[in-house]
Structure 1
Amino acid sequence: MTSFKNIGLIGRLGSARAVDTLKRLVRYLDKRGLHVIIEDRTATVLLDHGQQEASRDRLGEICDLVIVVGGDGSMLGAARALCLSGTPVLGINRGRLGFLTDVSPDEMEVKVGEVLDGHFEIEERFLLDAQVYRNDMPVGDGDALNDVVVHPGKAVRMIEFELFIDGQFVYSQRSDGLIIATPTGTTAYALSGGGPIVHPGIDAITLVPMFPHTLSSRPIVVGGGSEIRIHIGETNEAYPHVSCDGQTRVVSKPDDILYVRRKPQRLKLVHPFGHNFYEVCRSKLGWSSRLGA
């Protein structure tokens, strides 16, 4: 048995399937005699649930384990809040791909039971911190489990910027932007941009240009401890947006500086025994199985 006694629940809003799975999960945890705490926003879709409610940040302080029912987007939001407390997180897939929420609803009771009985493994994933400075003063920040993206926003035009890694000048570029991805994020937006898939156990950051105005510009993989600095060009007509996990956090101005670094805290992602990253890739990305299988 594990020490998981206080179980937090976070669900995908606006999904009837996620609500049904949440109700099943509450009943199952109740039968096991566990204390269930439901995130306050999730509680709004679970009428008469009879459980304690708490904010997402508070869940990390009072729970031994948090279970997220939804897609990878739901997990991204939970990860940014829960990495600070180091609370382990388990994902049940009620989205589309489900790279992070890898437990199927059809086997939920079995797999959750295995975890509660101590049959699980914990995988740590790092996040990125992003900070934008203007005239040497901070004007905005954010964090991301998948990626930090510099892009022109709604404007259909290229942006200009200079890239520095650990203080060394790399290049000036005109493009639709730049994706700065963790290993977790290399199977997300960065993959669509032509970036490589990086195993989550590798301590690396991937930089993927978005439609660069040169055929020689290619993705770069650097050490996870690297400091990424982007100087927004002074002649930009568009005001580039800085997005973290798809959510705009700062609208920058010409001559702003964006710093991206690895976050000190890490997400503790729980998997039932037998989790295999390459099997997940085969399943989610449609890779071929072994010959004759």
Structure 2
Amino acid sequence: MSEFKNIGLIGRTESVNAVTSLTRLMKFLEREGYSVVLEEEIAGAVRHSARVSAKEKLGELCDLVIVVGGDGSLLAAARALAKFSVPLLGINRGRLGFLTDITPDEVEQKVGDVLAGKYMAESRFLLDMSVTRSGKPVGKGTALNDVVLHPGEFIRMIEFDLYIDGQFVYTQRSDGLIISTPTGSTAYALSGGGPIMHPKLDAIVLVPLNPHTLSSRPIVVEGSSEFKIIVGEYNTTKPYVTCDGHEQIITKPGDVIRIHKKPHRLTLVHPLEHNFYEICRSKLGWAE
């Protein structure tokens, strides 16, 4: 008997292809006798008789959540559900699909295999970010990929101080800084010149964005490291800090940004033949 009985479904309602795959998946699950719980945003996009739930509640109701969409959809699900320890499985209806690795035409076979216990589970860590101003909280966020400090609306160099585990690292003038998990090392950090890190690594990479000094290079540190960024007093712009390009806080000079590993980890479920290096070959064009 399957360890997964209650299956939550999340998807991109603005994508016709995603809605088609969601409908196909829902019919398959119900035909196989599983209890389906639809995230409320997609409930109005498909014909169904299933239970409906807010995204955050899926973690309490479900043994497994399947995300139909791109990596962005899975990132959003991870931020909402990580604290519940419910595993996530991704079906790719986006572009690259580093995290959503089942193709639409193999839904029944691959999802069926996972539900039959033929799968591998992978643990990923997330980052917690908070901003304080004069000692008072301004905002916070969670990221599976990265936390990014950037100029915001205007393309202007910004200045900030970086501390790691209480030790001063540097004062930098640049377009910003990417603080990335291994999961995010194949995303924005890669575009910024950062290294590709295997998902099993307990490490964080810091990638400067167009630094004013050519000697500024990416730094890889322990995953348990704690970061403090102090926004420079003389910036002429108000830098933004974002989590996975989604949650956004506008900072002011003197604000303190703190980043550290989230205590809750995310479990990603993959088919047995999942291979990180094969994904890199196909998605990044290594075989060409």
* Short-chain TM bin: over 0.9
Alignment of structure 1 residues 184-223 onto 2, 5 Å: 184-223=183-222
What are the superposed Cα offsets for residues 49-70 of structure 1, whole Å, 9 maximum, x if unpaired? Answer: 1111000011000100000000
Shift of 1:128: 0.2
What are the superposed Cα offsets for residues 75-122 of structure 1, whole Å, 9 maximum, x if unpaired? Answer: 000001111100011000000000000011111110000001011111
Residue 16 of structure 2 corresponds to which residue in structure 1?
16
Does residue 1:86 correspond to 2:85, yes or no? yes
Shift of 1:272: 1.1
Q: Which runs of 5+ in 2 are unaligned?
A: none
Letter in 2 for 1:208: V
**TM-score (normalizing by structure 1):** 0.97
Shift of 1:45: 1.2
Query: How large is the Cα RMSD of the aligned pairs?
Result: 0.8
Residue 33 of structure 2 corresponds to which residue in structure 1?
33
Residue 136 of structure 2 corresponds to which residue in structure 1?
137
Shift of 1:273: 0.6
Shift of 1:2: 2.2
Residue 161 of structure 2 corresponds to which residue in structure 1?
162
User: Does structure 1 conserve the Cα–Cα contact (< 8 Å) formed by 2:226 and 2:259?
Assistant: yes
SS at match of 1:83: helix
Letter in 1 for 2:90: G
Letter in 1 for 2:18: A
Residue 43 of structure 2 corresponds to which residue in structure 1?
43
Residue 102 of structure 2 corresponds to which residue in structure 1?
103
Aligned mates of 1:29, 1:2 — CA distance in 2: 12
Residue 3 of structure 1 corresponds to which residue in structure 2?
3
Shift of 1:247: 1.7
SS at match of 2:83: coil
Does residue 1:113 correspond to 2:112, yes or no? yes
SS at match of 2:84: coil
**TM-score (normalizing by structure 2):** 0.99
> Cα gap change, 1:238/1:248 in structure 2, threshold over 3 Å: closer, same or farther?
farther
Residue 55 of structure 2 corresponds to which residue in structure 1?
56
Letter in 2 for 1:160: E
Letter in 1 for 2:23: K
SS at match of 1:160: strand
Shift of 1:13: 2.2
SS at match of 2:26: helix
What are the superposed Cα offsets for residues 143-194 of structure 1, whole Å, 9 maximum, x if unpaired? Answer: 0000000001011101000111101111111100000000000000000000
User: Does structure 2 conserve the Cα–Cα contact (< 8 Å) formed by 1:7 and 1:64?
Assistant: yes
Letter in 2 for 1:236: N
User: Does structure 2 conserve the Cα–Cα contact (< 8 Å) formed by 1:241 and 1:248?
Assistant: no
Aligned mates of 2:282, 2:270 — CA distance in 1: 16
Letter in 1 for 2:147: V
4+ residue segments displaced more than 4 Å: none
Aligned mates of 1:115, 1:248 — CA distance in 2: 32
Aligned mates of 1:3, 1:204 — CA distance in 2: 31
Aligned mates of 1:91, 1:249 — CA distance in 2: 25
Aligned mates of 1:132, 1:13 — CA distance in 2: 32
Aligned mates of 1:85, 1:134 — CA distance in 2: 30
SS at match of 1:173: strand
Letter in 2 for 1:19: V
Residue 278 of structure 1 corresponds to which residue in structure 2?
277
Letter in 2 for 1:8: G
Aligned mates of 1:109, 1:284 — CA distance in 2: 23
Shift of 1:248: 4.1
User: Does structure 1 conserve the Cα–Cα contact (< 8 Å) formed by 2:141 and 2:247?
Assistant: no
SS at match of 1:125: strand
